A and B are shown apart, each in its own frame.
Chain A
Amino acid sequence: MMASSYNAKEEDGHHSGAANHGGAGAVKSKKPDNTAFKQQRLPAWQPILTAGTVLPAFFVIGLIFIPIGIGLYVSSNNIKEFEIDYTGVDISSPCHTCAKNVSWNSTTPCLCSVHFTLKQPFESNVFMYYGLSNFYQNHRRYVKSRDDSQLNGDRSALMSPSKECEPYRTSEGQPIAPCGAIANSLFNDTLELYHIDSNGTRNTIPLVKKGIAWWTDKHVKFRNPGGNNNNLTLAFQGTSKPVNWRKPVYELDPLDDENNGFTNEDFIVWMRTAALPTFRKLYRIIQKKSSSTPTLPSGQYVLDINYNYPVLSFDGRKRMILSTISWMGGKNPFLGIAYITVGSICFFLGVVLLIIHHKYDTRNNSADIPN
């Protein structure tokens, strides 16, 4: 492909021959430079896989991985996690009716309550998640169905959203804000948690709804059109709410201007699409109140659900998860086990190779080569 013609020597090959005889001593030698690079003599480190290097490497890997694995496993086991499925597939489930009746078009909210018991108290901060299964947030058409310019507060994009948002780009002649399938399918169940104390009274557990989104998402990626101080209703004038939504984007959290419009954290969390069809998203945070009492003491709890989000049509599931976290995040037994396994295998391999090496070593350590 790239036949060289970088040397045009041939062109004057016959001249140079003549010049050699004629020009007395003035002939430039074409001798290549004697540099380490050109002569391929660059100093180099030449690693070889020898028993002296490979076997210790295996042992070292083993020795590093096993303790890490144990540490991970232990800390993962210390994490408390509670999960409850409230989809209502089962007839016995309190949400069964809701699950059957709810659709995007229903205007009346459907409420249901799920009772559960925490056997152990949850210390420190507790994180409340909602989980969806069989929900393909990672589908190509789904993932691309958004307009980041619009979400970033760009006015022109607000009025004429990207084509990627089709078929959720316009509604009744008006541009949809926020456009696209992701926004359109915003998770809109509301969950409330009550602790039932020994008297049987329901104590509301305060759920913090801020601080659940990525900092960059909240402060960089998502911005309301026309800056923060403006009237959101005005800013979104001329746009239409997403088809499935019950209220427009500027009414997502009417109580808090900071958490309204595109910068609504629930919205932001939803817009960060999941990698796998089964996923969980952070819903609320239960702050630890005092060091003496656990955040969630063991006992009876009630989860009140405002059931709006239909998942049965595609055989989806909805869950509520409560979890504490440690230094390495949530409960994750896989990582610890995997580390222990890999570490052990390395160690074992090291031993096996050592035996093989000693038994079948064909190489004599002399400087002779059997030729």
Chain B
Amino acid sequence: MKMAALCSEFGDLVQIKKQLISVISLCKERGLLHSAKWASELAFALDRLPKDELPPSPPFTEDDAQDLDALTLAKSYFDLKEYDRAAYFLKGCCSQKAYFLYMYSRYLSGEKKKDDETVDSLGPLEKGQVRNEALRELRVELSKKHIAGELDGFTLYLYGVVLRKLDLLKEAVEVFVEAIHSLPLHWGAWLELSNLVTNIEMLKSLSLPDCWIKDFFMAHMYTELQMIKEALQKYQNLIEAGFSKSTYIISQIAVAYHNIRDIDQALALFNELREQDPYRIDNMDTFSNLLYVKSMKPELSYLAHNLVEIDKYRVETCCVIGNYYSLRSQHEKAALYFQRALKLNPRCLGAWTLMGHEYMEMKNTSAAIQAYRHAIEVNKRDYRAWYGLGQTYEILKMPFYCLYYYRKAHQLRPNDSRMLVALGESYEKLSQQVEAKKCYWRAYSVGDVEKMALLKLAKLHEQLNESDDAAQCYMLYIQDIFSCGEQLEHAEVSTALRYLGQYYFKNKLYDEASLCAQRCCDYNDAREEGKALLRQISQVRDQIETPSADLFAPLSNNNTPVRRVSPLNLISFTP
């Protein structure tokens, strides 16, 4: 039932397939390779069409016929990256297709020259001055046509790109929306638009065409804006609607899981993705991040070798190798590979941050700071870079200074416990206990990843002689540790048990105290104390039993049963 409803919502899958096939050919003709690739991937995921169902090729107009020779020639030049030559032969052509290719080659030629110029700049300040000289002329010509209403979907897209490159972002958004309305199936325009949308309000205010592709866009946007739950829901809907075989969607879901640190789910999806598409390189850097977090050395090594065989000069490959070396603690080599990734694409955000981490490992703080700063320059919303900067200053023993950076990171990821714990630690170092307590408690409330917040909170309470609160925190901590099931290396259950034992002993709750003391004996570092406590308890019990029982009654009344958590439920867990 649900399936049917979704199908109707998405129209006929056959219809979608037809649309995709036609847009693929359109994009190909215009040299828009990435959009063509995206559409082809999606089309591949849908069922094959019978021969007679295949969409007819678009009508061949008089203009097209006229430009046919020039266009064919220019397209071949274009494909060989001889942009100026292509533009030269296209000059004066009147068909829409030729016009787009003409403008696009001019644009790309300008971009290419700009990049070549950077090498030959005449001084440090001139480096920043290098710009695509063609942009301004393109804008003038395109805007003229735009006002006259002569632009089709593709040229509108190009106009938008030009505007964006000229930093006229507001106009660019308008033009992209227009481009999308005129040609909804061109994924490149959607993607460009997504780069310009900065928040959810802006997203909601856009008027977008009601097309099945909009769902893909929304899902993409939700991922970008860190609204993972909504994104996953969207992708789930898309899968149910019949795109279950699409590698694009699988990879996107995997990335989304990665973003919310649901590592196992993400790993499973990536493995599935690699089975379906073994020569895929896109998104493999994310995959390697996951493997790194899980310390899965053999898998990471296999992935790295595999990718090198496919193409070693890809940003993703370099990142994977960097991660691989990092996991093997060969940080110099790791940094080298991240640098290589950055040489391939200096705007690759992940590599800057990862390189920062490597420099941190090498204790080269200044280089780390620079790397993080670059990452922030590329994307101001990169919380990992802000966090990394904070860590760097923390290592330099500047707890107050790093507060600013942690705060920034926290602002970007309000529900990430790591930033909160880091903030708390800094406050603790500055002896601002009240703030530190707030941070730790909040970290616990949002779901502590590293299970450290409660322990730290408890120790803080212990320092401040707030024994009730401390005991409660230790209690929660022990429950937390045992309920998560797996062994954590830094777990300090023994500390907690030791404190609890003493606490109950002081409050004359001997049963609970002895229980804690017994559990203490399970741990090497607390065994002696546990035994000592047990002895004390038995001593005290002997003393109590000899005098009359009325001494015991007021004592038990004195205790605050409200604050106390019964330790009995510990029995169900085994350490």
Q: Do A and B bind each other?
A: no
Give the interface of B toward A (CB within 8 A): none
Question: Which residues of A pack against B, CB within 8 Å?
Answer: none
